[in-house]
Amino acid sequence: MRALEEKICKEGKVYPGNVLKVGSFLNHQIDVPFMQLMGEEFHKLFQNEKITKVLTIETSGIPIACMVAQAFGVPVLFAKKNQTKNLSDDCYCTEIHSYTHGNDYQARIERQYLTAEDSVLVIDDFLANGAALVGLMDLIQQAGATCVGCGIAIEKAFQDGGKKLRDSGVRIESLARIASMDPETGIQFVQE
Amino acid sequence: MRALEEKICKEGKVYPGNVLKVGSFLNHQIDVPFMQLMGEEFHKLFQNEKITKVLTIETSGIPIACMVAQAFGVPVLFAKKNQTKNLSDDCYCTEIHSYTHGNDYQARIERQYLTAEDSVLVIDDFLANGAALVGLMDLIQQAGATCVGCGIAIEKAFQDGGKKLRDSGVRIESLARIASMDPETGIQFVQE
């Protein structure tokens, strides 16, 4: 998605340690009309699939997931990272390693909201090591639901999450795929 | 908003300790078309205000905030509860007590995304003790921005957050105001 690549180049900031900050539009401040364009792009990509639910994980995937769900006319379900009073004990649960925060956490969804009848599109803002997506697909599998694929805003294609998931047969559609990035030389995208 | 009261009665579940679960549409699974209706309702309520930004706090306020922002054509900014690599040090920061989780946490926004020129509508899913709203308004004040008011999906009007904030001169618009709730006798709304 050319508009996303341009926005990343214009507004994104690269820091040492492969950190890309896109807080101006994607994961702190949210450019809602732009999220809507991304939602429509994912709708085009997956329009031939039967989708009953959009699954994401808190927090930054939620705005995009809402726009995708709006385009498909289906609900969003987001996995929660913390056990709270508002979440029942009757959950599917998976453990995910966060490379960003350097810890492991539990991601949970209540069983009643994901069933064997569901055909699920997974949405997230970033794909790097793929740990979050693997966790979300584990939750889908526990529910006996079907995963039709994953829609990602920004894939760090120089990390191996996307390759491993595609090799295992998962359909991954990333709107921008970064081949390399560096605070000095900037961002290069994968030429497709 | 009658449709919200009906939805709460139909889908909400009351548990001891004043816990209301609305995970079927508001804060776990998200009924996106219904969030859009709520967004349009807030737009009606605040349409005479000049609004440049919608402010919320992760996580459950984000879907509603996105729909409100869509109606106004402005960005969302959400305060973050954790210090992450993706957040700069140049933040406004406030401490908030969570009655739900029984702890204190820091809420942060990057200074560059909120300025003295901003006229801010605060959006959140619940208002009970008002701690989150007070924290968000502290962040707005630190930035020298203006708060035009707060839009809340569900106010627990039997707790004192709404009264205290209104008494202090803040405009609070809640789409559903619960007068009392009980696992046995159900939910009663404030008659306005």
Quick check: A32 and B78 CB within 8 A?
no
Query: Does residue A33 belong to the interface with chain B, where contact is any CB pair within 8 Å?
Result: yes
Q: Strand B91-98 relative to strand B76-79: parallel, antiparallel, unpaired? A: unpaired
Q: Which of residues 138-177 of A touch B (CB under 8 A)?
A: none
Quick check: A87 and B63 CB within 8 A?
no
Question: For residue A98, what pLDDT is reported?
Answer: 86
Average pLDDT over residues A12-23: 94
| pLDDT tens digits for range B13-26 | 999 989 999 999 99
Average pLDDT over residues B105-115: 96
Look at A74-83, A133-142, A171-180 and tell me which has the smallest mean pLDDT: A74-83
Average pLDDT over residues A28-57: 98
Question: For residue B87, what pLDDT is reported?
Answer: 66
Query: Does residue B16 belong to the interface with chain A, where contact is any CB pair within 8 Å?
Result: no
| CA-based nearest distance B144→chain A, Å | 18
Do B29 and B35 meet the contact criterion of CB atoms below 8 Å apart? Answer: no
Question: For residue B116, what pLDDT is reported?
Answer: 98
| CA-based nearest distance B170→chain A, Å | 24
| CA-based nearest distance B52→chain A, Å | 12
Nearest by CB to residue A30, choosing from B32, B66, B85, is: B66
Average pLDDT over residues A86-90: 74
| CA-based nearest distance A60→chain B, Å | 9
Quick check: B76 and A87 CB within 8 A?
no
Look at A49-53, A64-68, B25-29, B88-92 and tell me which has the smallest mean pLDDT: B88-92
Nearest by CB to residue A77, choosing from B28, B84, B100, is: B28
B86 CB neighbours in chain A (<8 A) are: 19, 21, 23, 27-28, 100
Chain mean pLDDT for chain A: 95
Q: How confident is the model at residue A87 (pLDDT cuts 50, 70, 90)?
A: low
Q: Which of residues 71-130 of B touch A (CB under 8 A)?
A: 73-78, 80, 82, 84-88, 100-101, 109-110, 113
As for the ipTM of the complex, it is 0.95
Q: How confident is the model at residue B102 (pLDDT cuts 50, 70, 90)?
A: confident
Region label for B24, one of left (φ > 0), alpha (ψ between -120 and 50) or beta (otherwise):
alpha
Give percent above pLDDT 70 in chain B. Answer: 97
Question: For residue B84, what pLDDT is reported?
Answer: 63
- Tell me how many residue pairs between chain A and chain B have CB atoms under 8 A apart: 119
Taking the C-alpha atoms of residue B95 and residue B106, their distance in angstroms, rounded to an integer, is 5
Look at A52-66, A74-88, B136-150 and tell me which has the smallest mean pLDDT: A74-88
Tokens of B24: 């079927």
Closest CA to A78 of B124, B174, B26, B54: B26
Q: How confident is the model at residue A179 (pLDDT cuts 50, 70, 90)?
A: very high
Q: Is the pLDDT of residue A90 over 70?
A: yes
CA angle B12, B17, B18 (to 5 degrees): 45
Question: For residue A95, what pLDDT is reported?
Answer: 95
Quick check: B33 and A70 CB within 8 A?
yes
Chain mean pLDDT for chain B: 95
Tokens of A115: 């069933």
Is the pTM of the predicted complex or chain greater than 0.80? Answer: yes
| pLDDT tens digits for range B51-80 | 999 999 999 999 999 999 999 999 999 999
Distance between the two ends of chain B, CA-based, in angstroms? 11
DSSP string for residues in B73-124: T--EEEEBSS--TTS-S-EEEEEEEETTTTEEEEEEEEGGG--TT-EEEEEE
A99 CB neighbours in chain B (<8 A) are: none
| CA-based nearest distance A192→chain B, Å | 28
Question: For residue A100, what pLDDT is reported?
Answer: 75
B30 CB neighbours in chain A (<8 A) are: 62, 66, 69, 75-78
